[in-house]
Structures are given as C-alpha cells and as structure tokens.
Amino acid sequence: MDTMTVGYPFITEKATIELEENNKLRFIVDVDTTKNRIKKDIEEIYGFEVASVRTMITPKGKKKAIVTFVVDDAANEVATRIGLF
C-alpha cells in the first residue's frame, strides 16, 4: 500500500446522514489515487467489501472519496473502529 493513499475520514453533518442512511463513509485521499486503488486499500485496511467509490476534488484541492459498502452497517462498524462515534 502506498503511503497516504487513504488519508483520514471527512465528517460533516451531511456525511453523518449518509453514513446512517446509505452505508457510506467519506475519506480524504491522495489526489493521484485511482478509484480502484481506494477500493482495494479500504477493503484491506477495514476488512469490508466496497460496493462503489465516487471521488471529487474539493475547492481546496483535496480529493474526497465517498465509499459505499456492500454489507449493511459496515460503515457504522468502520466509523466505530476509527473512533468517530
């Protein structure tokens, strides 16, 4: 795994709603990282299968990845493991 491929979780009110209702988590990732690499790294780090990854560049030039998990409540489990809740 490359250094800093998956950075840190990005938590806002909207991200919290997506986590609870749609099983999604947001992460700040390296700008040069591909969706396939993000998916692979998230699966390796947290042990849950990823259904999809959407990315966007923020106005500040950072890359944000919205990760949807296959297993119900996987996002809540990951959030609990990394200390978000």
Spatial distance between the Cα atoms of 23 and 40, rounded to a whole number of angstroms: 18
| Residue 1 covered by a domain | no
Is 49 or 5 the better-scoring residue by pLDDT?
49
**Confidence at residue 49, expressed as pLDDT on a 0 to 100 scale:** 97
**Distance from chain centroid for Cα 60:** 18
Per the structure block, which two tokens stand in for 55?
A: 């990315």
**Confidence at residue 4, expressed as pLDDT on a 0 to 100 scale:** 67
Residue 40 is classified by DSSP as: H
Q: Any idea which residue has 């998916």 for tokens?
A: 39
CATH number at 25 reads 3.30.70.330
Q: Are 69 and 20 in contact (CB under 8 A)?
A: no
pLDDT tens sequence across 31-83:
999 999 999 999 999 999 999 999 999 999 999 999 999 999 999 999 999 98
Residue 32 φ then ψ, to 5°: -90, 0
| Residue 17 covered by a domain | yes
Q: Which pTM value belongs to this model? A: 0.89
**Confidence at residue 3, expressed as pLDDT on a 0 to 100 scale:** 61
- Over 90: is that where the pLDDT of 2 sits? no
| Residue 52 covered by a domain | yes
